[in-house]
Structures are given as C-alpha cells and as structure tokens.
Structure 1
Amino acid sequence: MTRTDPVTGRDRLVLAVLLTASFTLAVDFSILTVALPGIGADLGLSLSGLQWVATSFALCAAGFTLLSGRVADIAGRRRIFLAGIALLGASSLAGGLATHPAVLLTARAAQGLATAMVTPAAVALLTTAFPEGPRRERALGLNGSLMAAGFTTGAVLGGVLTDLLSWRWAFFVNVAVAVVVLIVAPVVLSESRPAGRPRLDLPGAVTVTAGLLAVVLGLAGAGEHGWGSPRAWGALLAGLLLLLAFRAIERRVAEPLVPAGILGRRTVAWGNAAGVLAFATETSLVFLLTLYLQEVLGFAPLAAGLSFAVLGLGTVLGGILGPRVIARVAHPPRAIALGMTGQGAATLMLVLLGDTRGWLPLLLAATFLGGVANLVAIVGFMVTATSGLPDREQGLAAGLATLSQQAGITLGIPLMSAVVGAVLAGHRVQDATAVLAAVRTAIGVNAALCALTAVVVVALLRPRMTDPGVSNSNR
C-alpha cells in the first residue's frame, strides 16, 4: 500500500468506531479522580477505601489484557470487541446507579475487564484493517493521541460533570457511547481472526493473569502504604514468582500464550519497555502537577483539572505529528528516542516552578510541549511494537502493547509518590514549601527517566542492514 492510496468512507467509519472506543476507555481511567470526595460522601467510602475506585479498575485492566488479546485471536477480534463494549455499558449503568460501595467497586472492576477486552481487540482490528505503511502509522498516531488525550480529558470532564450534575454522570456517559458503538460497529467492522485457530494455553493464561494481578496489587499497595509495606512487597514477590512460572510454562507447551519468537524480537521487547516508561512518566507527571496546583498554589480540583487541557491539546498535536516524524526519520525507534528526549527537556523546565501563580505560564508551556513529544514517542512505540508481525499474532502484539500502557499508568504514580514521600519525610513541617521541594525532586527524577529511555532506545534499537525500508524496521 502506497502513501497515495485513498482513504475510503469505510476506512473513516472503522477509524471512528475504534477511536471512539479507545478514547472512552482512556477517559474512564481518570474521570472519577475529581469526583472521589463526592463518591465517598454519598456511599460512605472511607478515605483509604476511595483508592480502590482506581485500583479495582487498574487491577482488571492490566491483569486480563494479555489473556484477552490472545482470546481475541482465537474467538475473533470483532466478537471480543463487541462483548467488551457491551460489558462497558452494563457495568457503567450499574456504577451510575450504585448505592453501596461493593456495587460501585464491582462495577469499576468490570469496567477494567471491559478495557482489557476492548483495547487489544481494537488495536488488532486497526492493524489488520490498515496494512503496514503510512496509513497504519497515521491510524496508530490518532489512536495513541486520543488514548493519551483521554487520560487528561477524563480529569477535566469528571470535574465538569461532578460540578454541574453528579458524579454518577461520569458513569452514565459511557452507557450512551456503548449503545452507539454497538449499533454501528457490527455494520462497519469485519471479523478478524487467524486462518488457523491456536489453542488457548490455559496454564500460561492462569499464571500470567494471576502474576499481573499480584504485581498491580503490589504497586497499588506501595502507593497507598509506602514502599516499605510488607504487603506490597509480598504481592510483588508473588507476582514475580508467578511470572517466572509463566515463562517456564511457555517454554514447554506446544502452543504458548506468548511465543518466545515474539518476545525475542528486539523491537517488541524493547519497544514495549519504552512504552511502559512513556506512559509512566507522563501520567505520573500529571499526578505531580496536581499536587503542585492544589497543595502549593491552592487551586480547586476543577481548576487544577482544567489546567491540564493544554496538555490534552499537546497530545492531540503529537499524535498527528508522530507519523510524519516516523516518515522523516525512516525508523520508528528513532521517533521514540526523539519524543522522549523532547519530553525530558520539557519536564526538566518544570523543576524551576515556584510558589506563586506567576509560574503558571511556564507550567502550561512545558506541559504542552511535553505532551506533543510524549505522543510522538507513543506513536513510535505502537508502530515499533506491532509492525513486522503476521496477522495471526496481531491480537497478541496489541495485547502486549496495551499491557505496556496499563503497566506504565499503574507504575508511574506509586513510583513518583515514593519519591515525594521520601523528600517529605525529611521535613519537620509538611507545608507548601515542603511539598514544592518534593514535587521538584520527583519532576527531576521523571525527566531523568525520559532521558534514560531515549538512551536505551538509541543503544538497543539501532537499524540493521537486514531491516526493511522506511517505517518497517522490526527485527
């Protein structure tokens, strides 16, 4: 397929359906952040219990992603996509009507499971609908742009809905989206599955899902109780042992859940590692700047959320520019390195933030530039991690890429929380001055992680003589 191939009306409909689903699921991750105090007051959730509104979602979203991607390869990607959208609608309706904490948390867990089902299936449908080349790169660019923009949009939308209507509308909006997608998608999307159906590696599926659940639970525990928590380390250790068992199982079964050949590809392995850090650094930066805006500058939650609108605009622009950067540099990993370098530079500017609102223009400018650079890196990661693979492995590749996204979002905030906590522990009085010092230190660590990611990608994903031409290097 050449750069001049026309985009058909059906192509646009396919993109519209898949991108709407991806954006909605990304919004879901953060839409309840601003609404948490109201939810706690209405349902009687304690302060410690409120963190489970996010954790229950993240547990299922990350824990079941890899399994769902493989099931989509076996049962059909459109079928799993539609089942996930139906689950999203039903669980959102239940969450919006919830009058008891257990119902709400169950609904959030079901939303996470819906995310695990829909996201890899949507990416696989996208990559099989658009063959490798400029059209796929543009489609992945839009997908990455809307997913990243959805994270920041969720904070803004959640604040608006909570202030104007009720936190329950943060759930109800999903019901309307799900109904529309379920009406349009069966007409627009074609079924996609490999010619020969592989068997499901049940022992591998059980161990990897349990291992990922334990890791996410451990990270959530570290964020809540600190990195010295025995429960957090116990869960992380259990997760590590289960993942090692999964690796041993995969070497012995005839049809492994994750064939060794896929992870043996340097672009899949290191591309996904870069994806984890790209998502971890940007989403955790939002957390740090939320602390800065509310605890140092005294912004209300809604005003703090609206301050991230410029970041959302930057991510949209970055998603548009990402495919162009890939075409210019002729090697997707170079786009990752360029994006992470730019993001690191923009993040480093934020170390200068002071304790007055006069520093707000610097924050807005730096977050905009960082958002652009971050999405260039994310588009590069998505293209790198999914290119050069046969259609029968696209669901698995998409599942791995989605897992990297969820792992990054889940890992970043506890990591930065630990840095902030360590700095605050050294201050007798934890006032605005202490919070500012802690946030500055964590921002510096964040910028260093961006730079490290760029260096690793340049060192380990150099183009080789055997690599194919423009935009298709994936060996």
Structure 2
Amino acid sequence: MPGPALPSPSTGAPAASAPSAHGRRAPSGPRAGLVLATACLCQLIVTLDASIVNIALPAMGQSLGFGDSALAWIVNAYALAFGGLLLLGGRVADLAGHRRALLAGLALFGVASVLGGFAQTPAQLIAARAGQGVASALLAPISLTLIMVTFAEGAARARALGVWSMVTAAGSAIGVLLGGVLTDLLDWRWVFFVNAPLVLLAVVLALRSVAIARPVPGGRLDVVGAVLGTGAMSVLVYGLMETGRHPWGSTRTLVTLGAAVLLGLAFLGWEARFASAPIVRLGVLRARTAWSATVIVTLIGAAMLVGFYFCSLHLQNVLHYGPLAAGAAFLPFCAGVMAGSMAAGRLGARFGGRATLTGGLLLAGLGMLWFSDLGVDSGYLTAFVGPSVVTSAGVGICMVANTAMGTSGVARHEAGLVSGLLNAGRQCGGSIGLAVLSSLAVAATRNAAEEGRAPLEALAAGYDRAFVVTAVLLAVAALIAVLFVPGPAPKAAATGDASAR
C-alpha cells in the first residue's frame, strides 16, 4: 500500500509529489532520475567487483607467487571486510550524511582498486582487496538508502527498486564475462583498473544529484556498539569461511563460531541496555515488516549465492565448460532476474506485497527444485535454461517485493540502518548457506561414491542435494511471508501511518 512520502534531503530539486510525513516533498523528474542512476552505479560497482576478480584468481596467483592457501584470501579479505562492516557502514551513512559517506566510499574504492592493479606482492593485493571491502560496506547500504529517501513508498519506489535489482543481477553476470575477457585479452590487473572510470562517473553523478544533508540532530557514533557489532560479524564470516579447511566439529571452528555468538549477544545487550545512541536501535525490529524482511532476505541471500555457486560448479566440473562459457551460460539467469525485477512493481500493485513476495519465493523454490534434476548427461538447453529462467524470475520478484516491504515506513534518519540490516542479512545468509550446503554436498558426494557411483555422477548427486535444500530454504521463507508479512490494509486506513501496520 502506498505510504507517506519520505523526506529527501539527498536531493535539492523541488518536487511535484505529495508532502511527506515531515512536511517535505519527495523529489521527482530529472533530479530523482540522477539519484537513481547514482544508486544503481554504486550497486553495479559493488556487485561487479564481487564477481570480476574470481575468474582472474589463477592468473593473479601465478603472477605474484601466491600459495594455494593464500590465494583464497584475495576473496576472503574482501568478504571479511565487507560482511563485518555493513552494519557500521549503514549507520555511518545516517550520521555523516549520504553525500559525504558516498564520496568517501567511492574515493576509498577507487584508491584501493588502483593499488590492487599495481600490487607487486601477495600482501599488497590482499590489503587492496580489504580496502575494496571496506568501501563496499559503505557503498552497498548507501545505494539502497538513496532510493529509500528519494522515492515515496508505493509504485515509484517499486519501479526504482526494480531497476536497482536489475542492475544487481547484471553486475554479477557482467563481472564473470568481463573478468574473463580482460584477463585473456589484456592482463589480470585490468580487473582492478576497470573500476577507475566507473568510480569517476559515480563521483560526477553524486556531485550533481546528492545534496549535502543536515547532520542528524544529536547524532553520534556508538563506538562500543560499533566494535562489538563489527567484531561479531567479522568473526562469524571468518569462521564460516574457514569451515572449508576445518570441519564443523573441530575445536577451531567451534571456538570461532562460539566467539561470534558471544560477541553478538554482547552487542545486543549493549544496544538494548547501555547505548545512549545505539548503532542499531532494536526497536526498529519490533515492526513485522523490518524483522520479517531481514529474515527473508537472509534466506534469499543463502539461496542466491548457493544456487549460483553450485550451478557454476556443475557447468565446469560436470559438463566441462570453460570459465567464459560458464559465465555466458548464466545470461538467461541474468535476464530472468531483470524481467522479474521489472514485473514486481506491477504484480505488487495488482495482488499486494505479501502475495507477490510469497509467489516469487515459491517460484524461485520450484526452479531450484528443478535444478536438482541436473545430471551427467543433462544438456544446457534442455535441462539448464528452463530452471534458470524460472528461478531467476522468482528471485527478481521476491527481492524487489521484500526490499519494498522492509523499507516501508522507515524514518529518514534510520534509512541507512535499515539498508545495512538488509544488506548484512543477505551477506550473512550467503556465507552461512554456502558453508553449510557445501558440507552437505560433500557428504552426499561421498555417500554416492561409497555406493559405487561413477565420480562425475557422485559429484552431480552432491550438487543436487544442495539444490533440494536450497528449495527448502525458499519454501521456509515463503511460509514466513504468509504468516508474518502484513497483508493489504483496509481502504479506510490507506492513508494511515505505515508504522502502524
């Protein structure tokens, strides 16, 4: 249901839309379009970088002399900094102002990218990747925050989120293709240098569209909360990343994950009882829209990353696709996400947010279940394209519907907080899902091998088990949507406060 327009100090243009609950008007027209372009370009930079580096890892290792274990830290350093700092990044955006935080994030990302391109040792490259992760932890929440404070709830925000989600999907697919092209035709260093023109363009757009916001009255950073929250997220992400080398039942894994739980409990206790200006106001999560959206996006994040990961492994390890061919094989998936994202707004207007979200989750779950039929003899056109389109269309629909629901009724000074929560949920969901389902897939592969199945058949059986569990995760998310997401409000209350839902 459309709610009151949110205030928008992030733009300076007069507006023709209805006044917000704070007496200000949401911008419209060319300035709002520039804000959307800025938000989408920042999101493209983040998603592109997350995938463009992966395909160049062997070339990086050979050029700089990485050992097998050290090479993984090119990815891990980014993931650790990004996942650990997302909550802090969202709150910093609220306190420092969106334009100031955005420009700082872009500057750091540009510098880290150039340093990564010129790196001469493994340590220098890993440090550059960590810098990119810190910058991404600022840029990812801000890109969503700009949409929240610029576009009023309802059709306008749904359309903007559709474009934003479409760019997110395109960035992942383009990153795989571009990484292969740059590495093959030029050099692996260009997967870093290519960020420079994108960052410069984003800075120009930000300076033209995002106005300097007034500081939040009485706003200050909760240092203790920031340390505890960042520590909990970082230790959790690190522990999950290390499960590939240390079993779940090992002392190291149990101690690491236990420390993450203790830090998380300490963070919640501090925020609830002692923090005068909490980095995460826990009252935000009392609204069903906020906590249910965070739980659902965590499950979606797990499904997306796990599905993408195991589809890629099946193409390369079972069907023997090369990296570039595997990247190109995901183009139907990218197209499906784009189509679903753009259709989500119209579906929401016709059927309501809860029905649209539930339908998208179920559609994605059916696609994942379809993927579980992949085998050694499965052809690309007959067995891969179909589930790719079904899954990706469902993902596009549910991502937009869930984000629109989770960002409804949010005050401007907490927009970055909610954006950080949603991004952190998706990142943690992906890390947890990948760690858990990788272990399940390995176990299923081992059991199939012990039953006497051929190596490739055993490998495919492990991947199929992961797809089935991923479908179950999406079904659980759909059940949460049915039980807890608020339904359409009565017409008489259509103009009421969104926070009352």
Q: TM-score, normalised by structure 1?
A: 0.94
Shift of 1:450: 1.1
- Which residue, out of 434, 456, 466, partners 2:480? 456
Shift of 1:7: 5.1
Whether the aligned pair in 2 keeps the contact of 1:123 and 1:398 (CA below 8 Å) is yes
Give the match for residue 296 of structure 1.
318
Shift of 1:116: 0.5
Q: CA deviation digits over 1:141-173, x for unaligned, max 9?
A: 211221233223322221222122222111111
Q: Compared with structure 1, are the counterparts of its residues 185 and 274 closer, same or farther at alpha carbon in structure 2 (3 Å cutoff)?
A: same
Whether the aligned pair in 2 keeps the contact of 1:194 and 1:391 (CA below 8 Å) is no
Q: CA deviation digits over 1:11-41, x for unaligned, max 9?
A: 2221112101111111111111111111111
Rounded Cα–Cα distance in structure 2 between residues aligned with 1:184 and 1:464: 37
Q: CA deviation digits over 1:276-305, x for unaligned, max 9?
A: 111210121111111111111111122111
Give the match for residue 254 of structure 1.
276
Q: CA deviation digits over 1:425-466, x for unaligned, max 9?
A: 322487211101111111111111111111121112242768
Return 419-428 or 99-108, whichever deviates more: 419-428
* Mapping 1:374-453, distance limit 5 Å: 374-426=395-447, 427-428=449-450, 431-453=455-477
The aligned amino acid for 1:126 is I
Return 360-369 or 422-431, whichever deviates more: 422-431
Rounded Cα–Cα distance in structure 2 between residues aligned with 1:398 and 1:471: 23
Answering whether residue 236 of structure 2 is matched by residue 212 of structure 1, we say no
Shift of 1:194: 5.8
Whether the aligned pair in 2 keeps the contact of 1:39 and 1:167 (CA below 8 Å) is yes
Rounded Cα–Cα distance in structure 2 between residues aligned with 1:239 and 1:78: 33
Q: Which runs of 5+ in 2 are unaligned?
A: 6-15, 18-26
* Mapping 1:23-422, distance limit 5 Å: 23-192=44-213, 195-252=216-273, 253-330=275-352, 332-356=353-377, 358-422=379-443
The aligned amino acid for 2:71 is L
Rounded Cα–Cα distance in structure 2 between residues aligned with 1:277 and 1:472: 29
Whether the aligned pair in 1 keeps the contact of 2:81 and 2:133 (CA below 8 Å) is yes
Rounded Cα–Cα distance in structure 2 between residues aligned with 1:139 and 1:385: 15
Residue identity (%): 35
- What CA RMSD, in Å, does the superposition of the two structures yield over aligned residues? 2.2
Shift of 1:321: 1.1
Structure 1 residue matching 2:278: 3-state secondary structure? coil
Whether the aligned pair in 1 keeps the contact of 2:98 and 2:210 (CA below 8 Å) is no
Whether the aligned pair in 1 keeps the contact of 2:357 and 2:478 (CA below 8 Å) is yes
Rounded Cα–Cα distance in structure 2 between residues aligned with 1:349 and 1:119: 32
Shift of 1:320: 0.7
Q: CA deviation digits over 1:205-229, x for unaligned, max 9?
A: 1101100000000110113434234
Q: Which runs of 5+ in 1 are unaligned?
A: none
Q: Compared with structure 1, are the counterparts of its residues 235 and 123 closer, same or farther at alpha carbon in structure 2 (3 Å cutoff)?
A: same
Q: Compared with structure 1, are the counterparts of its residues 189 and 465 closer, same or farther at alpha carbon in structure 2 (3 Å cutoff)?
A: closer
Rounded Cα–Cα distance in structure 2 between residues aligned with 1:465 and 1:352: 41
Stretches (4+) displaced over 6 A: none
The aligned amino acid for 1:351 is S
Rounded Cα–Cα distance in structure 2 between residues aligned with 1:422 and 1:470: 53
Q: CA deviation digits over 1:341-372, x for unaligned, max 9?
A: 00011111112222125254321121122111
Structure 2 residue matching 1:225: 3-state secondary structure? coil
Whether the aligned pair in 2 keeps the contact of 1:77 and 1:122 (CA below 8 Å) is no
Q: CA deviation digits over 1:63-91, x for unaligned, max 9?
A: 11111111111111110011000111000
Shift of 1:193: 5.1
Structure 2 residue matching 1:463: 3-state secondary structure? coil
Whether the aligned pair in 1 keeps the contact of 2:39 and 2:147 (CA below 8 Å) is yes
